[in-house]
């Protein structure tokens, strides 16, 4: 009788059954022999990935690369780097710049500023005119104050609703969406008006810098919310002053930087174009901004 080392003796199974009655006789060997391949199969599945999924991933990656193209992908990376560097220009601010900018927005009548931006040594992007960053030039627009002004305005408006006992979490979404809709409308009107009247390649007429100028309106809007509504006459006078002050700031900031900084460029522009632009900025800066901020605030 030959001896099989892998066989499990029946009498050993019966003895185990005698010790543990919950294990059926002559089943332990079968159970042990079946558990080994299962464990080995699980280890093999973890060690070797599914070839079907790997092949699908490689095919998808190849198709995406062929669809975009290596040259287009390189151009996309260059444009992304240029956009990031140009946007970072508008966030180079300091505490001193923020305080001076707020004073310029709220007290434009008492400013002895020339309102013209200073030229710089580094370009913001391809084909753009070089100007100093905001931390080095008070006339340079920035995105820090408009973004912080928007956040502060939304929070203060909702805090007031809470103090009045009518706070609702949905008000955050409602006020933010309605405010952004007003900003987009304001931006479209300003961009379209400058494009039709001036049609110049000035950096002040670029989309990013127009967003900066339009976003400065949240400074007077926030102060209007913080100021008490009583006495009514004094509150109305302060609101009118803030709206007029912002109109003066917007008119001077855009007007003195709308055309290129050199005198040759100013001389090449027709006087009729400059006159129409002044009329448009006057109506936009005073009449339209007062109506818009009254509706928003």
Question: What pLDDT is recorded for position 185?
Answer: 94
Q: 99: burial class by Cβ within 10 Å (0-12, 13-18, 19+)?
A: exposed
Cα–Cα distance measured from residue 288 to residue 290, given in angstroms and rounded to the nearest whole number: 5
CB 256 within 8 A of CB 217: no
The answer to whether 153 and 222 have CB atoms below 8 angstroms apart is yes
Which comes out higher in pLDDT, residue 54 or 186?
186
Phi, psi of 169 (to 5 degrees): -55, -25
User: What local confidence, expressed as pLDDT, does residue 273 receive?
Assistant: 80
Give the separation between CA 26 and CA 120, rounded to whole angstroms. 91
Integer Cα distance of 290 and 189 in angstroms: 14
Residues 6+ apart with CB under 8 A from 133: 89, 92, 120, 140
Is residue 117 scored above 80 in pLDDT? yes
Residue 78 to residue 84: CA distance in whole angstroms: 10
pLDDT surpassing 80 at residue 25? no
Higher per-residue pLDDT: 3 or 297: 297
Closest CA to 212 of 167, 159, 254: 254
Q: What's the mean pLDDT when you consider all of the chain?
A: 75
Environment class of residue 5 by beta-carbon count within 10 Å: exposed (0-12), middle (13-18) or buried (19+)?
Answer: exposed
The answer to whether 279 and 286 are in contact (CB under 8 A) is no
Higher pLDDT: 21 or 95? It is 95
Provide mean pLDDT across the span 98-116: 90
Average pLDDT estimate for 114-133? 69
Contact 95, 102 (CB under 8 A): no
pLDDT, tens only, 217-247: 999 999 998 888 778 888 889 989 999 999 9
* φ/ψ of residue 131, rounded to 5: -140, 160
Burial 55-89 (b: 16+ CB within 10 A, else e): eeeeeeeeeeeeeeeeeeeeeeeeeeebeeebeeb
CA distances from 74 to 68, 71, 77, 124, 210 (A): 10, 5, 5, 20, 29
- What percent of the chain has a predicted confidence (pLDDT) above 90? 30
Q: What is the mean pLDDT of residues 158-172?
A: 85
Q: Is 203 helix (H, G, I), strand (E, B) or coil?
A: helix
What's the token pair of residue 191?
């961009």
Indicate if the pLDDT at residue 207 is higher than 60: yes
Structure confidence by residue, pLDDT tens digits, 58-75? 666 565 556 555 555 444
Cα–Cα separations (whole angstroms), residue 165 to 154, 248, 292: 17, 37, 27
Tens of pLDDT, residues 30-56: 444 444 444 444 444 445 556 666 666
Q: How confident is the model at residue 264 (pLDDT cuts 50, 70, 90)?
A: very low
pLDDT at 10: 52
**Share of residues in the chain with pLDDT > 70 (%):** 62
- The band of 177, judged by pLDDT with boundaries at 50, 70 and 90, is very high
The answer to whether residue 168 scores a pLDDT higher than 90 is no
Quote the CA–CA distance of 240 and 243 in Å, as a whole number: 5
């Amino acid at each position: 009788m030959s001896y099989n080392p892998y066989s499990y003796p029946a009498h050993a199974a019966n003895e185990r059954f005698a010790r543990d009655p919950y294990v059926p006789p002559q089943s332990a060997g079968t159970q042990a022999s079946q558990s080994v391949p299962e464990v080995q199969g699980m280890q093999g599945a973890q060690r070797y990935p599914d070839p079907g999924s790997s092949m699908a991933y490689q095919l998808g990656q190849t198709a995406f690369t062929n669809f975009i193209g290596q040259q287009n992908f390189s151009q996309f990376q260059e444009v992304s780097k240029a956009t990031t560097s140009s946007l970072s220009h508008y966030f180079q601010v300091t505490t001193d710049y923020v305080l001076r900018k707020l004073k310029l927005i709220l007290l434009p009548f008492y400013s002895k500023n020339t309102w013209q931006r200073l030229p710089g040594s580094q370009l913001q992007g391809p084909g753009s005119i070089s100007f100093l960053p905001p931390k080095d030039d008070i006339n340079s627009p920035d995105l820090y104050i408009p973004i912080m002004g928007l956040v502060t305005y939304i929070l203060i408006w909702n805090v007031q609703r809470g103090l009045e006992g009518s706070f609702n979490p949905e008000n955050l979404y409602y006020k933010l969406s309605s405010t952004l809709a007003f900003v987009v409308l304001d931006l479209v009107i300003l961009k379209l008006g400058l494009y039709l009247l001036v049609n110049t390649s000035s950096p002040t007429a670029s989309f990013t810098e127009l967003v900066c100028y339009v976003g400065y309106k949240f400074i007077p809007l926030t102060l209007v919310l913080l100021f008490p509504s009583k006495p009514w006459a004094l509150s109305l006078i302060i609101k009118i002053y803030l709206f007029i002050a912002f109109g003066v700031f917007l008119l001077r900031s855009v007007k003195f930087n709308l055309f290129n900084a050199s005198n040759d460029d100013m001389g090449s522009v027709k006087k009729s174009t400059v006159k129409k632009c002044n009329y448009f900025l006057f109506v936009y800066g005073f009449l339209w901004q007062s109506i818009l901020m009254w509706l928003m605030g």
